[in-house]
Amino acid sequence: MELLEKKTVQTRQNQDVMTKIDHLNYIDKYIGNDLSKDELRILVYDLINDESLRRSFRMFSQVKP
């Protein structure tokens, strides 16, 4: 049981890292040119730390401009 719990936590952490990388790639590709470095830094911080914003961003990022 303990091994399964560790595996579940590790999987969740891996998914979180991939989600952050996906967000950063999306920002770089579609938004980065229009934002200053400070604005981009704030946006990335918010994406990493706000679950509801991450959910919204995932839905938004699936609609390609």
Among 34, 31, 18, CA closest to 60: 31
Domain count, the chain: 1
Domain assignment present for 26: yes
Domain assignment present for 46: yes
Region 29-40 average pLDDT? 68
pLDDT band at 22 (very low <50, low <70, confident <90, very high): confident
pLDDT band at 35 (very low <50, low <70, confident <90, very high): low
Is the full-model pTM beyond 0.95? Answer: no
Is the Cβ–Cβ distance between 32 and 40 less than 8 Å? yes
CA distance 18 to 65: 22
Note the pLDDT of residue 54: 67
Domain assignment present for 2: no
Domain that holds residue 55: 18-65
How does DSSP assign 9-63, residue by residue?
Answer: HHHHHHHHHHHHHHHHHHIIIIIGGGS-HHHHHHHHHHHHH-HHHHHHHHHHHTS
Domain assignment present for 27: yes
Domain assignment present for 31: yes
Domain assignment present for 5: no
